[in-house]
Amino acid sequence: MTKSHPLLALVALLFGLAVAPAFGADAPTPTATLNFDLNKADLPPGADATLKSVADQLKSKADAKVSITGYTDSSGDAKMNADLAKQRAMAVHDALVKDGVADSSITMVKPDAPMMAGNPDQARRVDITLVLPSAAPADAAPAAAAAAPTPNKGDTAWMLTSTALVLLMSVPALALFYGGLVRTKNMLSVLMQVFVVFSLITVLWCIYGYSIAFTEGNAFFGGFSRLFLRGTVDAFKGDYALAATFSKATPMYEIVYVVFQATFAAITCCLILGSLVERIKFSAVLVFIVIWFTFSYLPVAHMVWYWPGPDAYTDPAKADAVSATGGLVWQWGALDFAGGTVVHIKGGVAGLVGAILLGKRIGFGKEAMPPHSLTMTMIGASLLWFGWFGFNAGSALEANGSASLAFINTYLATACAVLSWTFAEWMIKGKPSMLGAASGAVAGLVAITPAAGNVGIPGAFVIGLVAGVICLWGVTGLKKMIKTDDALDVFGVHAVGGITGALLTGVFNAPSLGGPGSVTDWVKMTSGYPGILEQLFIQAKGVGLTIVWTAVVAFIAFKITDMVVGLRVTEDEEREGLDTVSHGESAYHY
**pLDDT band at residue 222 under the 50/70/90 scheme:** very high
For the sheet containing 125-131, what is the strand order?
31-35, 125-131, 65-70, 106-109
Predicted confidence (pLDDT) at residue 24 exceeds the cutoff of 50: no
Angle between helices 254-276 and 346-358 in degrees, nearest 10:
30
Predicted confidence (pLDDT) at residue 412 exceeds the cutoff of 60: yes
Predicted confidence (pLDDT) at residue 95 exceeds the cutoff of 70: yes
Predicted confidence (pLDDT) at residue 568 exceeds the cutoff of 70: yes
Predicted confidence (pLDDT) at residue 117 exceeds the cutoff of 60: no
Using an 8 Å Cβ cutoff, are 14 and 50 in contact? no
pLDDT 10s digits, 515-544: 999 999 999 999 999 999 999 999 999 999
**Residues 6 or more apart from 48 whose CB is under 8 A from it?**
1, 2, 3, 4, 9, 95
Predicted confidence at residue 458, as pLDDT, reads 98
- Dihedrals phi, psi of 253, to nearest 5 degrees: -65, 130
In the chain, CATH 3.30.1330.60 sits at: 6-135
Using an 8 Å Cβ cutoff, are 269 and 289 in contact? yes
Predicted confidence at residue 109, as pLDDT, reads 76
* Domain 6-135: homologous superfamily in CATH: OmpA-like domain (3.30.1330.60)
Using an 8 Å Cβ cutoff, are 205 and 262 in contact? yes
How far is the CA of 399 from the CAs of 267, 472, 515, 522, in angstroms? Answer: 23, 34, 20, 20
Q: Assign 473 to helix, strand or coil.
A: helix
Predicted confidence at residue 19, as pLDDT, reads 35
Closest CA to 298 of 193, 396, 194, 215: 215
Give the DSSP letter string of 10-77.
HHIIIIII--TTTTTSSSPPPEEEEEPPTT--SPPTTHHHHHHHHHHHHHHSTT-EEEEEE--BSSS-
Q: Assign 241 to helix, strand or coil.
A: coil
Predicted confidence (pLDDT) at residue 114 exceeds the cutoff of 70: no
Give Cα 174 distance to the centre of its chain: 24
Predicted confidence at residue 119, as pLDDT, reads 54
Rounded distance, CA 141 to CA 34, Å?
A: 31
17 versus 241: the higher-pLDDT residue is 241
Give the DSSP letter string of 493-528.
IIIHHHHHHHHHHHHHTSGGGT---EEEETTTTEEE
**Is the torsion defined by CA of 508, 510, 512, 518 positive or negative?**
positive
* Rounded (5°) CA angle 183-343-186: 10
Predicted confidence at residue 560, as pLDDT, reads 98
**Residues 6 or more apart from 491 whose CB is under 8 A from it?**
275, 348, 349, 351, 352, 355, 474, 479, 482, 484
Burial of 562 (0-12, 13-18, 19+ CB in 10 A): middle
Q: No. of H helices and E strands in the chain?
A: 25, 10
Give the DSSP letter string of 123-160.
HTEEEEEEE-GGG--TTHHHHHHTT-----HHHHHHHH
Rounded distance, CA 571 to CA 363, Å?
A: 11
Using an 8 Å Cβ cutoff, are 233 and 239 in contact? yes
**pLDDT band at residue 18 under the 50/70/90 scheme:** very low
**Is the torsion defined by CA of 257, 164, 517, 336 positive or negative?**
positive
- Burial code of 190-216, b = ≥16 C-beta within 10 A, e = fewer? bbbbbeebbebbbebbbebbbbbbbbe
**Residue 369 has what DSSP assignment?**
-
Q: Which of 139-153, 244-258, 323-337, 568-582 has the lowest mean pLDDT?
A: 139-153
Cβ atoms within 10 A of the Cβ of 502, count? Answer: 26
In the chain, CATH 1.10.3430.10 sits at: 159-583
Closest CA to 41 of 89, 104, 110, 88: 88
Rounded distance, CA 158 to CA 399, Å?
A: 6
Q: Which range, 16-30, 55-69, 120-134, 566-580, has the best average confidence (pLDDT)? A: 566-580
Using an 8 Å Cβ cutoff, are 167 and 156 in contact? no
Rounded distance, CA 361 to CA 574, Å?
A: 8
- Give the CATH architecture of domain 159-583: Orthogonal Bundle (1.10)
pLDDT 10s digits, 270-308: 999 999 999 999 999 999 999 999 999 999 999 999 999
pLDDT 10s digits, 460-505: 999 999 999 999 999 999 999 999 999 999 999 999 999 999 999 9
Tell me the CB-side half-sphere exposure of residue 457, using CA atoms within 13 A. 5
Using an 8 Å Cβ cutoff, are 580 and 588 in contact? no
Q: Assign 106 to helix, strand or coil.
A: strand
The per-residue pLDDT of the chain, averaged, comes to 89
Rounded distance, CA 248 to CA 545, Å?
A: 30
How far is the CA of 136 from the CAs of 26, 33, 60, 141, 144, in angstroms? Answer: 8, 20, 16, 8, 11
